């Protein structure tokens, strides 16, 4: 067991709540690291959204350019509607992927009593 593992098992922890389809899941991280974990998840969500927005913008530009070259307003509008429907249907739920910091600097045994902690 490394020093980090033993401090999480016996010392103070931060408790994170992840929302899932089955209900909330609670996980412990070493005390003081909870905010960094939440920030990392938020950054990942932002990067995914930015990438998806850039990909959608590229497809929209290609559809508009094709419509202008082909002089087809109907095909352009149909293509844009299709992209809009796909973009909206692929929108992920921010709350499911970003945990909430519910306890800071809690003793592990107290956190285990208060929450059904999962290993993670």
- Mean per-residue pLDDT, 16-25: 90
pLDDT at 33: 95
- Please, what is the Cα angle at 6 between 117 and 40, to 5 degrees? 60
**Phi-psi category of residue 33: left, alpha or beta, with phi > 0 → left and psi -120 to 50 → alpha:** alpha
Domain boundaries along the sequence of the chain = 3-118
Q: Which band of pLDDT confidence, cut at 50, 70 and 90, is reported for residue 13? A: very high
CA distance 117 to 103: 12
pLDDT over 90 (residue 7)? no
pLDDT for residue 6: 46
Q: Give the pLDDT confidence score for residue 89 in this predicted structure.
A: 80
Task: Please give the helix or strand (H or E) that residue 111 lies within, else none.
Answer: helix 108-114
Residue 2: helix, strand or coil by DSSP?
A: coil
Of 33, 25, 5, 8, residue with least CA distance to 108: 8
- The Cα 108–Cα 49 span in angstroms is 35
Residue 1's pLDDT is 42
pLDDT at 20: 86
Q: 43-92 pLDDT, tens per residue?
A: 998 998 899 889 888 999 999 888 888 888 888 888 889 888 887 887 66
- Give the C-alpha separation, 54 to 115, whole Å: 40
């Amino acid at each position: 067991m490394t020093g980090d593992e033993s401090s999480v098992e016996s010392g103070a922890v931060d408790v994170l709540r992840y929302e899932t389809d089955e209900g909330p899941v609670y996980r412990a991280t070493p005390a003081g690291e909870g905010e960094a974990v939440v920030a990392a998840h938020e950054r990942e969500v932002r990067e995914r959204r930015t990438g998806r927005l850039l990909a959608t913008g590229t497809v929209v530009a290609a559809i508009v350019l094709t419509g202008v070259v082909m002089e087809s307003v109907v095909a352009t509008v149909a293509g844009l509607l299709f992209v809009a429907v796909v973009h909206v249907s692929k929108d992920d739920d921010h709350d499911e992927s970003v945990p909430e910091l519910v306890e800071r600097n809690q003793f592990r045994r107290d956190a285990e009593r208060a929450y059904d902690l999962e290993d993670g």
